């Protein structure tokens, strides 16, 4: 109930922290991309092709260093406020190789090669940003390091927002006529994001996001649920806002494609700004603020500064790339979300995410830091440096409330008693926070904290039977009617798996009794 009235309840200084971070992001772009010649004193340079290429590379580096998505207090990072580079340049930290059995780049702990490739990627990105105009060879070297870095650790592939930025860099390399390819990437981001919101989950997201916005008054926050405090399901207002939001996201790419006159183009930009202003103003947990700023800038470059560019098919190699990265992969990720991360699936903030709850008996969670190389402390210990113990517990409880307010979070609440009969006495930590401490980055991808992470940590920590139970809930497939789940014991392996019907979850509050799985 506290979430409805106050959201996460962060102090004003936290929002100022994120505002400052956006300012530093934009300032870094200006520093890296602005020409030094006097005749470019106007801002026209910012809309040019070289500035756009550098903005893409700068954004990728900003993200992979841990400064963008998944940073700061709203993602469980207090002291220090970032993970990212603190993990990725340190040997021995856990990693998640996409194919752990591969020689040199495999394994589940970061070694010399992993650190070296990460440093090489950042150095090559710095070379691109320092060059007057990035050459195709330099961009190709950067993309090569990007690929090897991703083979070493899929966490880095996701953290660099490769589904967006790596695809754009590939477009720059494949053809000098890359603008149509870049337009295709931009249109795909909006289109698939809109498609992914055509589900029962998104009204819950809108209710939660708006409740967390510092711009939404408390009276309006209460109207986002059906009947405060008895019924915290999304209200008619929240559902209407969700439908409007999904329609708006689908309307933006359509408006740009159809725009033929200055008035029509102005309407398209108005729709784009309304969409991303709402997202940024909500300050959603996960805080993809800089990414949203980049998407807006991208829109002005591709459809504003280059409005005279007639629509045509991109070159064959670029078209093939787009068909794979922007059509086939997102389609597969929407139809079979268990097999593709929500980021390459372009299912942004749809509320339909894989997630997990980690239930530690007693102080068994202390084994994580006792047995592993983790540059960032246990989240409760971070909070202890800032607040009294009772306040720290309340902050962690708010993180659980955030999850429980979502539809998939209600599934976790319903399944937790099936995982551990003593659930009320256990330390319950959201899988996102475990992932952030152990893998160095977290941004809503429950596949990063699945059975593979449990097994990797178990090899070092040696949890006893029953000491760590995990509940894992998968995303709902497009056209599906249920959520698949698994319950896992770190020491003994699988405990239970099944399906939860969506219709049953729609009737639940963020609290309640265990559910009966679908037969």
Domain-located, residue 302: no
| pLDDT tens figures, 209-251 | 998 888 888 888 999 999 998 999 999 999 999 999 999 999 9
Measure the CA–CA gap between 502 and 491, rounded to whole angstroms.
Answer: 31
Give the DSSP H or E segment for 360: strand 355-360
Domain-located, residue 319: no
Chain centroid to Cα 159, Å, comes to 8
Contact by Cβ (8 Å): 429, 360: yes
pLDDT interval class at 38 (50, 70, 90):
very low
Domain range for 438: 355-505
DSSP class of residue 101 equals: T
User: Residue 336 class from Cβ within 10 Å (0-12 exposed, 13-18 middle, 19+ buried)?
Assistant: middle
Measure the CA–CA gap between 167 and 185, rounded to whole angstroms.
Answer: 8
Contact by Cβ (8 Å): 80, 376: yes
Give strand pairing partners of 499.
484, 518
Q: What is the dihedral of CA 492, 487, 76, 362, to 10 degrees?
A: -50
Contact by Cβ (8 Å): 151, 121: no
| Cα torsion 490, 491, 493, 495: sign | negative
Higher-pLDDT residue of 40 and 283 is 283
| pLDDT tens figures, 106-129 | 999 999 999 999 999 999 999 999
pLDDT interval class at 2 (50, 70, 90):
confident
pLDDT of residue 384: 94
Contact by Cβ (8 Å): 59, 294: yes
How much is the average pLDDT of 124-152?
97
Query: Over 90: is that where the pLDDT of 6 sits?
Result: no
Domain-located, residue 69: no
Contact by Cβ (8 Å): 308, 296: no
User: In 3D, which of 450, 468, 495 has the Cα closest to residue 371?
Assistant: 468
Measure the CA–CA gap between 201 and 351, rounded to whole angstroms.
Answer: 5
263's CB contacts (< 8 A; 6+ apart) are: none
- Per-residue b or e along 383-403, where b marks 16 or more CB atoms closer than 10 Å to that residue's CB: bbeeeeeeebeebbebbbbbb
The least confident of 22-36, 56-70, 168-182, 372-386 is: 22-36
Number of separate domains in the chain: 1
Contact by Cβ (8 Å): 334, 478: yes
pLDDT of residue 216: 86
Chain centroid to Cα 391, Å, comes to 27
pLDDT interval class at 496 (50, 70, 90):
very high
| pLDDT tens figures, 295-310 | 999 999 999 999 999 9
Query: Over 50: is that where the pLDDT of 181 sits?
Result: yes
DSSP class of residue 498 equals: E
Q: Where are the alpha helices (DSSP H) in 7-94?
A: 12-33, 49-64, 85-88
User: In 3D, which of 309, 187, 200 has the Cα closest to residue 254?
Assistant: 187
User: In 3D, which of 342, 330, 271, 313 has the Cα closest to residue 184?
Assistant: 313
- Per-residue b or e along 268-292, where b marks 16 or more CB atoms closer than 10 Å to that residue's CB: bbebbeebbebbbebbbbbbbbbbb
Domain-located, residue 399: yes
Domain-located, residue 221: no
In the 3-class helix/strand/coil scheme, how is 362-423 assigned residue by residue? CCCCHHHHHHCCCCCCCHHHHHHCCCCHHHHHHHHHHHHHHHHHCHHHHHHHHHHHHHCCCH
| pLDDT tens figures, 248-280 | 999 999 999 999 999 999 999 999 999 999 999
Contact by Cβ (8 Å): 249, 180: no
79's CB contacts (< 8 A; 6+ apart) are: 377, 382, 385, 386
pLDDT interval class at 172 (50, 70, 90):
very high
| Cα torsion 63, 64, 66, 69: sign | positive
pLDDT of residue 7: 85
Contact by Cβ (8 Å): 360, 416: no
Per the document, the length of the chain is: 519
pLDDT interval class at 512 (50, 70, 90):
confident
Contact by Cβ (8 Å): 321, 170: yes
Contact by Cβ (8 Å): 435, 448: yes
Query: Over 70: is that where the pLDDT of 41 sits?
Result: no
How much is the average pLDDT of 30-53?
77
- Per-residue b or e along 201-210, where b marks 16 or more CB atoms closer than 10 Å to that residue's CB: bbbbbbbbbb
Domain-located, residue 500: yes
What is the edge-to-edge ordering of all strands in the sheet holding 482-489? 427-430, 355-360, 468-473, 482-489, 493-501
pLDDT of residue 45: 86
- Averaged pLDDT of the chain: 94
User: In 3D, which of 154, 202, 76, 62 has the Cα closest to residue 344?
Assistant: 154
Q: What are the tokens at 245?
A: 């939001």
E-strand ranges in 162-286 read 225-227, 231-234
| pLDDT tens figures, 341-387 | 999 999 999 999 999 999 999 999 999 999 999 999 999 999 999 99
Measure the CA–CA gap between 29 and 104, rounded to whole angstroms.
Answer: 35
HSE (CB half, 13 Å, CA atoms) of 75?
29
| pLDDT tens figures, 68-91 | 999 999 999 999 999 999 999 999
Measure the CA–CA gap between 345 and 253, rounded to whole angstroms.
Answer: 17
Domain-located, residue 467: yes
Contact by Cβ (8 Å): 69, 291: yes
E-strand ranges in 243-319 read none
Query: Over 70: is that where the pLDDT of 518 sits?
Result: no
Chain centroid to Cα 277, Å, comes to 18
Query: Over 70: is that where the pLDDT of 42 sits?
Result: no
Domain-located, residue 393: yes
Give the DSSP H or E segment for 189: helix 179-196
């Amino acid at each position: 109930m506290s979430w409805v009235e106050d959201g996460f309840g962060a102090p004003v200084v936290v929002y100022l922290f994120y505002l400052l971070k956006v300012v530093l992001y934009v300032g870094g772009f200006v520093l890296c991309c602005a020409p030094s010649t006097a005749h470019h004193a106007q801002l026209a340079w910012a809309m040019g092709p070289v500035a756009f290429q550098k903005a893409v590379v700068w954004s990728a580096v900003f993200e992979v260093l841990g400064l963008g998505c998944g940073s700061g207090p709203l993602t469980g990072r207090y002291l220090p406020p970032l993970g990212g580079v603190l993990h990725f340049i340190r040997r021995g930290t856990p990693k998640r190789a996409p194919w752990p059995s591969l020689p040199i780049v495999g394994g589940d702990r970061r070694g010399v090669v992993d650190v070296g490739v990460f440093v090489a990627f950042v150095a090559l990105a710095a070379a691109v940003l320092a060059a007057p105009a990035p050459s195709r060879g330099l961009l190709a070297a950067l993309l090569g390091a990007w690929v090897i870095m991703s083979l070493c650790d899929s966490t880095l592939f996701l953290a660099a927002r490769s589904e967006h930025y790596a695809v754009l860099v590939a477009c720059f390399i494949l053809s000098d006529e890359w603008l149509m390819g870049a337009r295709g990437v931009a249109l795909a981001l909006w289109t698939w994001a809109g498609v992914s919101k055509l589900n029962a989950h998104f009204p819950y997201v809108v209710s939660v996001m708006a409740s967390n916005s510092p711009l939404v008054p408390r009276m309006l926050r209460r109207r986002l649920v059906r009947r405060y405090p008895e019924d915290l399901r999304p209200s008619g207002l929240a559902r209407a806002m969700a439908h409007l939001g999904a329609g708006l996201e689908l309307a933006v790419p359509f408006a740009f494609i159809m725009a033929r006159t200055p008035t029509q183009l102005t309407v398209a930009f108005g729709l784009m700004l309304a969409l991303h202003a709402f997202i940024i103003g909500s300050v959603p947990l996960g805080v993809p603020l800089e990414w949203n700023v980049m998407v807006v800038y991208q829109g002005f470059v591709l459809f504003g500064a280059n409005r005279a560019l007639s629509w045509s098919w991109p070159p064959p190699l670029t078209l093939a790339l787009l068909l794979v990265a922007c059509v086939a992969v997102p389609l597969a990720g929407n139809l079979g979300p268990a097999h593709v991360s929500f980021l390459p699936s372009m299912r942004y903030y749809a509320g339909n995410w894989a997630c997990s709850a980690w239930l530690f008996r007693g102080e068994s969670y202390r084994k994580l830091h006792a047995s592993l190389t983790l540059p960032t402390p246990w989240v409760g210990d971070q909070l202890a440096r800032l607040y009294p113990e009772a306040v720290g517990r309340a902050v962690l409880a708010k993180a659980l409330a955030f999850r429980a307010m979502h539809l998939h979070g209600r599934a976790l609440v319903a399944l937790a008693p099936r995982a551990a009969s003593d659930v009320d006495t256990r330390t319950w930590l959201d899988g996102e926070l475990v992932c952030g401490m152990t893998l160095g980055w977290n941004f809503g991808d429950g596949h990063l904290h699945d059975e593979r992470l449990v097994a990797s940590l178990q090899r070092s920590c040696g949890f006893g039977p029953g000491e760590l139970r995990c509940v894992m809930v998968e995303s709902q497939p497009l056209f599906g009617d249920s959520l698949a789940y698994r319950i896992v014991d770190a020491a003994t392996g699988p405990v239970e798996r099944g399906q939860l019907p969506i219709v049953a979850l729609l009737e639940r509050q963020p609290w309640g009794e265990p559910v009966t799985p679908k037969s």
